[in-house]
Amino acid sequence: MSKALLDRFLSAAVKRGRLSMNWADGSTSEFGTPTQGFPEVSIRLTDSKAARHIVLDPRIGAAEAFMDGRLVIEQGGIMEMVDLLRANSPWDKGGDFGRPGVFKRARNTASFALEQLNNKVRSQRNVAHHYDIGNDLYRLMLDQEHMQYSCAYWPSPEMSLGQAQEAKLAHIAAKLVIEPGHRILDIGCGWGGMAIYLAKNFDVRVRGITLSEEQVALARERVAAAGVSDRVEIELVDYRDLAGAGLKFDRIVSVGMFEHVGRPQFATFFEACATLLEDDGVMLLHTIGRMGSPGTTDAFTRKYVFPGGYIPALSETIAASEKVRLIATDIEMLRLHYAYTLREWYRRCMENREAIIAMYDERFFRMWTFYLSGATAAFEHGGMCNYQIQFARQRRTLPLTRHYMGQAERALMHQP
C-alpha cells in the first residue's frame, strides 16, 4: 500500500528531470522526462517501511530515511535529489513540495508554538545545539577570511566565497553610515568576522555578543590575531540582559541572528534594540526571510538543525519594529545570494567528507548535507530569501537618497 501511494505521489511530483526508484522488493519505477537543467537521479529503498515513513511525512520521512541509510542515492547526490523534487514544484508558481497531511501539519503547528517560547535559558540551549558542535566543522565549511555563517553577497557569481563574504561586510557597513568614534553593537557576532572588519576599516569600538561558548572562545582568538583587541570586545551575553544595563550604541548590526529569536520574542528584540540605540543611531538587520506570509518551521529543521528557530515574514518583522517606532529607512531583498552561498558550503563539506565523518559519524554527515541541500532548494525554488532592513530612530538621521550606500561600498571594496 505504501509503495503504491509513494509511486502515485512521485508520478505527480516529478514531471521534468528523471527519477529512478529501485524499490525494496527489487522492482524499479521511472518518473519524469529528461529535461535540460533538471537533474537525473537514481535512488534505492533498502526496506519496505521506508516508503511508509516518506508517505506519512515526505520532508522529515525522506530526511530520516536518508540519514539512516534506508534511502540510498545511487546516481547523483542528495543536493541533486532535493533539487529535482523542489524544482518541479516552485514556490513562484504556487508549489509546496512535500507538505505533510492535515494531521501532521496540526501537530507540527502545536509543537512549533511551544518551542517558540525562547526564554534566556532555552535560547542559550538552542544556540548551543547548533553552534557549539565544534568550531572545526565550521572551519572546513566557511570562508577562511571572515568565517561568515550567513548569506554572502555576490555582485558577480564568479567571485570566490571569501570575496563574496567580504562584499557582504562592505555592503552592510555602507548602510550603517559609520563615523569615527562610533560605538557599535554586533548582536549575534558569530566568530567575530563583522566586528573585526569594522574595527580594521573604521575608527570605532565594537562590542560583539553571542550565546555560543565555542564562538566566544574562537572569536576572541581571531580578534587578537587581527590586532584589534583594543577596539573589539566579545561577550557571552543575551541581548535582553544588555538592554537592561543602561548602555547606548551609535550603531547596531545583527546578521543571521534574528532567525533564532522566535516569533513571540520579536517585540522584545526590537524593544531591546530601540533601548540600546542612541537617538541619532542607525541599525542594520540582516535575516533570512519568507517571501510570503507568516508560517511555521518544518519538523526536520526544528528537530535536527535550529530548535526554536523561525524564519520571519517581512510583514511581521516590520510590524514588530513599528511598536517601538523604529523607522524602516531602507529594505533590500536578496533573492538568490544565499543559494550561491549554500552551494559553496555544500561543496566544501563534500570535499571534506572523510574529515567530517571522523569528527562525528556518517549519520551526522548525511543530516548536515541534507540540511544544506534542503536550504539551497528553499532559496532556489522555495519561498526563502534574505532581507537587509535599515532602521533609524529619527527621520533626519540619514541622507535623503541611497547614493551614499554605493559610494561607501565602492570605497571599501577599492573600486572606482
C-alpha cell belonging to residue 382: 522555495
- Residue 98: the pLDDT is 56
The side-by-side arrangement of strands in the sheet containing 277-290 is 232-236, 205-210, 183-187, 249-255, 277-290, 384-392, 327-334
Give the chain's domains with CATH numbers: 2-99 (3.30.1050), 118-412 (3.40.50.150)
pLDDT band at 48; cut points 50, 70, 90: confident
Contact 398, 329 (CB under 8 A): yes
DSSP H helical ranges for 37-131: 48-56, 58-67, 78-87, 102-115, 120-131
C-alpha cell belonging to residue 137: 566543522
User: For 364-383, what is each residue's pLDDT tens digit?
Assistant: 999 999 999 999 999 999 99
Locus of grid cell 514588530: 320
Burial (CB count within 10 angstroms: exposed 0-12, middle 13-18, buried 19+), residue 149: buried
Look at residue 148 and give its three-state secondary structure.
coil
Look at residue 356 and give its three-state secondary structure.
helix
Distance CA 97, CA 57 (A): 11
Of residues 43, 98, 52, 47, the one with CA closest to residue 70 = 47
User: For 174-192, what is each residue's pLDDT tens digit?
Assistant: 999 999 999 999 999 999 9
Number of H helices, E strands in the chain: 18, 11
pLDDT band at 106; cut points 50, 70, 90: very low
- Lowest pLDDT segment from 146-150, 265-269, 308-312, 391-395: 308-312
- Residue 308: the pLDDT is 85
pLDDT more than 90, % of the chain = 84
Locus of grid cell 538621521: 397
Which helix (H) or strand (E) element contains residue 293? none
**φ, ψ (nearest 5 deg) of residue 246:** 75, 20
**pTM of the complete model:** 0.92
Distance CA 182, CA 190 (A): 21
- Residue 102: the pLDDT is 46
Distance CA 402, CA 210 (A): 31
- Residue 412: the pLDDT is 97
Average pLDDT, the chain: 92
Distance CA 411, CA 399 (A): 18
Distance CA 328, CA 395 (A): 10
Average pLDDT rounded to a whole number, residues 206-216: 96
pLDDT band at 306; cut points 50, 70, 90: confident
Look at residue 12 and give its three-state secondary structure.
helix
Distance CA 285, CA 305 (A): 22
pLDDT band at 115; cut points 50, 70, 90: low
CA-to-CA separations, 381 to 240, 277, 339, 376, in angstroms, rounded: 36, 37, 10, 8
CA atoms within 13 A on the CB side of 262: 21
Q: Give 212 or 48, the one with higher predicted confidence.
A: 212
Find the angle CA(392)-CA(396)-CA(400) to the nearest 5 degrees.
100
Average pLDDT rounded to a whole number, residues 346-362: 97
